[in-house]
């Protein structure tokens, strides 16, 4: 299936409109994030809904008619395994929380075990179509791993700049995919700025979240999958959903918002579901702006163990702020202790989440404590596997006992089992 034509791009700050071939990354006037507008927004008849629903492809390329980049092929590789992630009911958690209409969408089955594969699949497809020689990305681990995985699957070259504090498991994953990895003695924001300088100086193609406007186009495919999941149950239910999303840079939430905006433009839904952004208390720049009713976002000095959402200045913060407001949602902040407590809670239902992913579930639990109606249809986005940060997982659970290899010793430690 062919890609959908980009009609124009709009700046999230000044509202200027650009032709798709006139700008590559952000607004030249003020550096604002650019939003992609596709031809079907004006001509929804261009898209055949039934051909999408009838597709046998379960990856993000199932939605190729709604994407601005063509499927580059590579069937039988991880590029065609991105997306199609499960939505679980988790009856044990439903009972414990008293929430009969709770679902969890688990992104860990993606090839590099995180939501970020969605963005990287689209970006690597664009790099292939453009004939780019090398793609660079700044990452605390997940975006870089996703980029490295997609690059490896398609024979492309990539360079990942990661802060030296990135979890060792994530760095090992980057290296195992064959990426060139450079650790930066500084924060994620420092790595981000260095990648921009390198893009300008060396002409490398840049995948960065909140910089390359195609990242949100990849992430919007999760919204399509959520819509399709509920389409086969109760079509109105997706519009009534409250979707809890972990937020760092803001691009995941922006991408999901963009997907639902596309569905709204197509007339396939009647209104946006409520988007509820969850930030770590130590990295809450967007939540702060929301709470203050502000139109600008002030940088913070990020301190949270949830590295994937640890950001001083969110690179897609304004759109993520607007998206929550437009959907009638809200922002919630959670402590590192609440994040750690959420890891074994999800684990008890069979989902192993890294801290950033567990933050969304922690946000739901905090909302319930503040009077959130448990009868509301709710969906939690779990965006990455706990294997990404085993060190954090060990802090979230009690340690296993060590015993002598005897039945008496085993009986003693299992007497309450």
pLDDT digits (tens, 9 = 90+) for 399-410: 889 989 999 999
Going by C-beta distance under 8 Å and a sequence separation of 6 or more, which residues neighbour residue 409?
403
311 burial (CB, 10 Å; 0-12 / 13-18 / 19+) is buried
pLDDT above 80 for 417? no
Report in angstroms the alpha-carbon separations of 10 from 14, 34, 40, 177, 266: 8, 5, 16, 35, 19
Q: Is 350 left (phi over 0), alpha (psi -120 to 50) or beta?
A: left
> Who wins on pLDDT, 395 or 280?
280
pLDDT above 60 for 203? yes
Q: How far apart are CA 151 and CA 249, in angstroms?
A: 23
Strand pairing class (87-88; 102-106): antiparallel
* Torsion on CA atoms 317, 267, 221, 381, rounded to nearest 10: 70
The first and second tokens of residue 386, run together, are 């706990």
* Average of per-residue pLDDT values in the chain: 94
Cβ-contact 315, 139 below 8 angstroms: no
Q: What does the pLDDT read at residue 395? A: 87
Q: Is 113 left (phi over 0), alpha (psi -120 to 50) or beta?
A: left
pLDDT digits (tens, 9 = 90+) for 64-118: 999 999 999 999 999 999 999 999 999 999 999 999 999 999 999 999 999 999 9
Q: What does the pLDDT read at residue 411? A: 92
Q: What does the pLDDT read at residue 140? A: 80
Residue % of the chain over a pLDDT of 90: 87
Residue 184: pLDDT band (50, 70, 90) is very high
Q: What does the pLDDT read at residue 398? A: 85
CA angle 211, 10, 271 (to 5 degrees): 100
pLDDT digits (tens, 9 = 90+) for 22-56: 999 999 999 999 999 999 999 999 999 999 999 99
Going by C-beta distance under 8 Å and a sequence separation of 6 or more, which residues neighbour residue 97?
364, 365, 368, 374
Output the pTM of the full model. Answer: 0.94
Q: What does the pLDDT read at residue 167? A: 83
Task: Please tell me what DSSP assigns to residue 105.
Answer: E
Cβ-contact 120, 207 below 8 angstroms: yes
């Amino acid at each position: 299936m062919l890609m959908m034509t980009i009609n124009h791009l709009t700046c999230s700050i000044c509202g200027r409109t650009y032709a798709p071939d006139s700008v590559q990354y952000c607004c030249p006037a003020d550096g604002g994030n650019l939003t992609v507008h596709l031809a079907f927004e004006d001509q929804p008849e261009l898209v055949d809904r039934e051909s999408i629903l009838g597709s046998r492809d379960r990856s993000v390329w199932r939605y190729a008619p709604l994407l601005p980049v063509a499927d580059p092929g590579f069937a039988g590789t991880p590029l065609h395994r991105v997306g199609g992630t499960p939505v679980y009911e988790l009856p044990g958690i439903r009972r414990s929380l008293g929430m009969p209409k709770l679902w969890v969408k688990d992104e860990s089955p993606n090839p590099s075990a995180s939501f970020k594969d969605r963005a990287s699949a689209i970006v690597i497809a664009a790099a292939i179509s453009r004939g780019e020689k090398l793609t660079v990305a700044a990452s605390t681990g997940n975006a870089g791993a996703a980029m490295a995985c997609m690059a490896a699957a398609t024979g492309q070259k990539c360079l990942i700049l990661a802060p030296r504090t990135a979890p060792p498991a994530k760095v090992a994953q980057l290296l195992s995919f064959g990426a060139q990895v450079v650790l930066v003695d500084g924060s994620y924001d420092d790595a981000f700025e260095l990648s921009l300088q390198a893009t300008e100086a060396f002409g490398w193609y840049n995948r960065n979240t909140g910089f390359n406007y195609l990242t949100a186009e990849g992430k919007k495919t999760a919204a399509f999958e959520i819509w399709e999941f509920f389409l086969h149950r109760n079509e109105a239910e997706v519009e009534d959903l409250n979707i809890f999303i972990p937020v760092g840079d803001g691009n995941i939430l922006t991408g999901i918002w963009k997907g639902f905006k596309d569905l709204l433009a197509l007339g396939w839904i009647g209104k946006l579901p409520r988007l509820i952004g969850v930030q770590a208390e130590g990295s809450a720049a967007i939540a702060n702006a929301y709470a203050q009713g502000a139109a600008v976002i002030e940088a913070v000095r990020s301190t949270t163990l949830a590295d994937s959402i640890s950001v001083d200045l969110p690179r897609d913060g304004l759109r993520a702020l607007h998206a929550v407001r437009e959907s009638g949602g809200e922002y919630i902040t959670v402590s590192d202790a609440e994040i750690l407590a959420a890891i074994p809670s999800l684990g008890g239902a069979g989902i192993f989440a890294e801290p950033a992913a567990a933050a969304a579930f922690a946000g739901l639990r905090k909302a319930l404590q503040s009077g959130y109606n448990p009868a509301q249809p709710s969906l939690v986005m779990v965006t990455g596997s706990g294997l990404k940060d085993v060190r954090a997982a060990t802090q979230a659970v009690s340690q296993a006992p060590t015993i002598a290899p005897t039945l008496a010793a085993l009986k003693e430690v299992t007497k309450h089992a």
